[in-house]
Structure 1
């Protein structure tokens, strides 16, 4: 008898920087606690782009070929023997982090801090765990979240970055009527503005170095007011000969001017720092009002010089935020509620799986051939 041919599927596999190949892989059935999902939409994010361009994301270096992608949604096509809460044909969002469910962090509900956590498309752990840029994938069933009927696959793919901001807003104890400033208005920053609005913030303002992105944020109602930061070359003033002290002084003076323009001369209640850039982190401390909070969301510079006395003497809390925990139901409910107007405009470009390389190249450029700004690029399953 001839051997039975196993079914296959396509996957976009990164072998080295910019070496991304569409490959045929065996499609294995789901294990007893898994479900198999047909991936209908995957949003590309900054960490995916770092891996694509450099083969690494910070300290995490690709050691074996890796399937990227972790902002995804799809349709259940098969279920394991011990899965009772899902059915074939169900639309789901995929939560990409697989926790151990046994450590003290997992037991306390902070599973995002689980030391054994494995994350789809991340090279932090080895063997790596493949991501969602493939036709189908098997995933633990308890991390598949049913979609409300009025939430599309593209919107559900936004549940992952939206979860980052829901988690950050919980860490900041964001309350109605508070004032909010967001540094950086890429997709994450725009979602920070949107979450702040959904929480009833009285005034949401945004700062960036990109005037086009700021115009987008203002035009589509994400921010009430915006401010475009001057470049370092355009910043004038005395110098002390100490580069660190000069940088701290420039940050303080720059944000003071920005706050005046934004109508918040005394600072804001909560700052969401979504860039990871050292000058913006420094400015965040001065942007917070006395007794305010700085929420560090962006991942960038590993080591930063902070105006720590300005934080201490004004009781400004500086808080870290890493991914999310127990947020997906809230994110999907928020997407379904209509409380995030214009969220669909975040998806600016779409590609099929076969064109994943082109999608990454466009994301790296930041603008398409027509000069349109690139925010969120979504890769869809496309034809077989």
Structure 2
């Protein structure tokens, strides 16, 4: 089979390797689509994502959909359409027993956080644990299902609001950053009952995509940072999806007194200047959110119910065009979600 390997910063090559064989409790998938995520971009363009550096050839990709190729037990029929929860949860901790995505010693597809690295999905075949599979409804196309993982990230971010006793229903929401996660967070917030969602970004092109999704899914208003004035204390909840320090500072300005800021975008693992004074004086809550727990099931259901979410995918490239796909995914003026189609991919 063929797979894409990130060997180091700015080094990616598609190579032929042996197809993996499933062991006990495992199933082999024929991968149809893989989405390029922000972490994949960091591994390729910087050779590092946060504190985790590429130390051996890494197959990227944790957003995927495809069909079952081989289940040694026969429980999953060949050809069954699926997506995958990309996490293998680690060591249970009593204080967070119901939040396995936060347990230590776990792994995630396409990640350099482990040694050896946990290889990802940008390959023709992938072996995963059976409990990581999620069967797709007959009405959900395999291509659209590639968005299940990033949509689950967005749904988990929205769920964090309730964790601190706040309510997304009827809320005035600002989503900062109009990349793929930002667009999916707009969709998630509206699906969970937000009354009004404003989308902000420094670029006009990503903002236009946020409104083009339509009234039921898209942003109700946009704000171009550096052009439009940021409303002060205007939002009940701010989802900061860019990870940029100035945007975190702006979130503190925009949130109302005793409002909630959810930091969705990953930030570099080094000190960065952030203005915290408004957050302190407003007694606002600043929350972290990390991947997701079990929201991928709700993501599959939402993707099935809302076909237009597939419009978040703006470009599709073949595996042999992986380098071009990464270059395109980095250009937020040109693209939103870029997916790589593996040979034989079904729509």
TM-score (norm 1): 0.83
Q: In the alignment, does 2:7 pair up with 1:15?
A: yes
In 2: Cα distance, 1:321 partner to 1:46 partner: 15
1:323-355 Cα distance to aligned partner (Å, 9 max, x none): 1111111110111122xx631211111111122
For structure 2, the residue ranges without an aligned partner over 5 or more in a row are none
> How many angstroms does 1:46 deviate by?
1.2
Q: In the alignment, does 2:300 pair up with 1:332?
A: yes
> How many angstroms does 1:307 deviate by?
4.2
Instruction: Name the structure 2 match of 1:88.
Output: 78
Contact 1:122/1:128 (8 A) holds in 2? yes
In 1: Cα distance, 2:324 partner to 2:168 partner: 42
Q: With a CA cutoff of 8 Å and minimum separation of 6, indicate the structure with the bigger relative contact order.
A: 2
Instruction: Name the structure 2 match of 1:375.
Output: 336
Instruction: Name the structure 2 match of 1:215.
Output: 208
> How many angstroms does 1:266 deviate by?
4.1
Q: In the alignment, does 2:230 pair up with 1:258?
A: yes
2:194 is matched with which residue: 198, 201, 207?
Answer: 201
Contact 1:99/1:116 (8 A) holds in 2? yes
The structure having more radius of gyration, on CA atoms, is 1
> How many angstroms does 1:107 deviate by?
7.1
> How many angstroms does 1:35 deviate by?
0.4
Call closer, same or farther: CA 1:175–1:325 in 2, change over 3 Å: same
1:186 is matched with which residue: 152, 171, 179?
Answer: 179
Q: In the alignment, does 2:126 pair up with 1:133?
A: no
Please show how residues 257-276 of structure 1 align to structure 2 within 5 Å: 257-259=229-231, 266-276=233-243
Q: In the alignment, does 2:3 pair up with 1:35?
A: no
For structure 1, the residue ranges without an aligned partner over 5 or more in a row are 1-8, 232-253, 260-264, 368-372
1:248-273 Cα distance to aligned partner (Å, 9 max, x none): xxxxxx8xx321xxxxx542111000
Contact 1:184/1:275 (8 A) holds in 2? yes
Call closer, same or farther: CA 1:106–1:144 in 2, change over 3 Å: farther
In 1: Cα distance, 2:185 partner to 2:96 partner: 28
In 1: Cα distance, 2:158 partner to 2:94 partner: 20
Instruction: Name the structure 1 match of 2:289.
Output: 321
Instruction: Name the structure 2 match of 1:114.
Output: 103
> How many angstroms does 1:305 deviate by?
4.0
In 2: Cα distance, 1:205 partner to 1:366 partner: 19
Other structure's SS at 1:20 match: strand
Other structure's SS at 1:139 match: strand
> How many angstroms does 1:220 deviate by?
2.6
Instruction: Name the structure 2 match of 1:234.
Output: none
